[in-house]
Amino acid sequence: MGLWQYLRGTPGPSGFGSASTAEQIASKFGNSIRGKVVLITGGNSGLGLETARVLAGSGAHIVLPCRSEQKAQQAKQTILATCNNPDAKITTLQLELANLASVRQCAQDFNKLGLPLHVLINNAGIMALPKRTLSDVSQELQFSVNHLGHFLLTNLLLDSLKSSGTAQDPARVVILASSAHAAAPKSGIQFQDVTFQKGYSPWAAYGQTKLANVLHAQELNRRLQADNAHVTAVSLHPGVIATNLARHMPTIQQKLFSVFLPFFKSIPQGAATTVWATLSPEFKSRGGVYLSDCNVSPTNHRMAQDEDTAKKLWQLSEDLTALEE
């Protein structure tokens, strides 16, 4: 989609565009999620909260894993008060994506609930940390939160997804990436220096994690289809939105961003592509694609469609998360 189409909110082939809101998507497709279970990471604020609110309003049972019980309960009360569904169901869990032990515990806690899982939305993320910071497992923190934690969580919940999907109505994995995957190093994933020990750049490191999100969705979908599993996976760019994702940026960059606020999406518009990926019947039979402005979109990094890179990333991620142990 061109800049002029974006600014005007011109609908694409789906009938929706950059100006569409999550509520508008739900008004058309919302019945498809009624009674289903949707787990959303980062659902206590910003895009995740709006996504949870809209899907709860459409009758989904929302599972919110959050870093603290306080944040989870605040989000739960906000959703219940604003989703226009007096019968809304919200279940909270604890999750710290940078801590792999916490990820494993969250998956165990979910499985103990005895619920199916129809949609997993990997929404949480951090962006452009000004200084190189390592996680508990000695990985660059953005890579740990944005990719590794979600990679492990997804794999630990795959059995629930597979058992919940059907041939007529597959389960879905929706991974929030970003057009910022274009900021990743030209070579793609820095397999020889994935933690940026040399030449750390906030935006290159963030871009690498978003490229990892795109590649994760593609490789996950390939594996699922090879297994004849009734699950599809997609990645998406929600748009440029003024949320607390930018809280780590230097003050001067935040001020520069504020100059362009008139061109940013609102949070309801930013959540629209996620809700479209969750509800649209198109993704009952289509996965592995990258979405933007509620339409299928081309990626914008030369390595974003590279199958060998995706497979290599998968193997690295398995090793770093000790998935097979």
What confidence score (pLDDT) does residue 267 get? 94
**Mean pLDDT of residues grouped by 10 in the chain (325 residues)?**
55 93 97 97 96 98 95 96 95 96 97 98 95 92 97 98 97 97 94 94 96 98 97 96 57 49 79 98 95 95 95 97 80
Is 206 among the catalytic positions?
A: no
What confidence score (pLDDT) does residue 137 get? 84
Beta strands 171-176 and 37-40 are unpaired
What confidence score (pLDDT) does residue 253 get? 53
Report how far residue 178's alpha carbon sits from residue 91's, in angstroms, rounded to the nearest whole number: 28
Report how far residue 241's alpha carbon sits from residue 201's, in angstroms, rounded to the nearest whole number: 22
Amino acid letter for position 228: N
For the chain, which domains are there?
A: 3-239+268-319 (3.40.50.720)
Beta strands 171-176 and 119-122 are parallel
Report how far residue 75's alpha carbon sits from residue 228's, in angstroms, rounded to the nearest whole number: 36
How much is the pTM?
Answer: 0.93
DSSP H helix total and E strand total for the chain: 13, 8
- Exactly one of 6, 200, 206, 290 is catalytic; name it: 200
What confidence score (pLDDT) does residue 259 get? 43
